[in-house]
Amino acid sequence: MTAPKNVLAVIAPHVGGRAAGAGLATLFPGEAEVTVVERTDENPEALRAAHVVITALAPVTAEHLAAAPELRLVQCASHGFDYVDVEAARDLAVPVCTIGSSGAEAQNVAEQTFALMLALAKQLVPAHNALVEADWALPRLQRSLTELSGKTLGIVGLGQIGREVARRAVAFDMSVVYAGRRRVPEETEARLGGARHVPLDELLRVSDYVSLHAPLTDDTRHLLDAPRLALLKPTAFVVNTARGALIDQDALADALEKGALAGAGLDVFDPEPPTPALRLLRAPNVVLSPHVGGVTRETLVRIALAAVQNVAGYLAGDPPRDIVSGPAPAR
């Protein structure tokens, strides 16, 4: 088969749309024909002719895959892949790839995680809002102020992003425990301040802060449900910069409203953007941001380069990296 050259770049509007896609298209070698859209089925002819689909948080469904008979590769411009029907792609022998090994998002997501943790510990949002209203809130806020130093940070998912978070935790004098399918090498644990691998339920019981960095799969959807949230200390904080559906959002709102948790910092929601009915928008002691982890100017350049390099390598005959759905077909 001739090396595939038709590339469909699908950039969701809430992460830049056509403007961002136009910049991404300029990174490809001249022999690639790149079509930029904001929805996967926006241009049926381009989808039908596509050999490669690059998607930036735009859904790629089983129907989309069935409508692309020439498709040989789906490249996610992200660490996550929950917006692609991986099972349908596997059935069609179409590999789905992420940018996982590039670490393109790790720095900024780790920084955003700590921005949320610090905002919660120092009560920055209520302090700011009070001062704007000419309210010297120090006496009221003082009993809620706390430090990161000496606290235990529980990291759920110690991949590249989780490790960057752990590195920063050590700098803040925090102890690190982590949960995941596999224990990392002992030398990695040592570099992360003696991080300890523990079962998830134990992590929830002992942590002062819980930070989620796991992929969203059938197994991890609502990983933090009501029973697991009930394991947390009433003084604990939950931070999620991974995927909104890792948490049962209603259960989290219940816990916050009842005072069973000290607070939550959320950069991700289910769905995105969140609907006005989302109770977490009005829950007490939450700090919210609109999925800004991973979208700094520097990060977007690294993400685009990582996605394009993987696809360009595949077009040139190299095996693709970071496959999450199965082997690449012979060409």
Q: What is the CA radius of gyration of the chain?
A: 21
**Main-chain phi, psi angles of 39, to 5 degrees:** -130, 145
Residue 249 is classified by DSSP as: H
Active-site residue numbers? 243, 272, 291
- The span from the CA of 183 to the CA of 204, in Å, is 17
Residue 322 near residue 331, CB atoms below 8 Å: no
The continuous run of DSSP H or E covering 166 comes out as helix 160-171
- The span from the CA of 244 to the CA of 304, in Å, is 23
User: Which of 105-129 are b and which e, b meaning 16 or more Cβ less than 10 Å from the residue's Cβ?
Assistant: bbbbbbbbbbbbbebbbebebbbee
- The span from the CA of 138 to the CA of 130, in Å, is 9
Strands (E), 114-162: 152-156
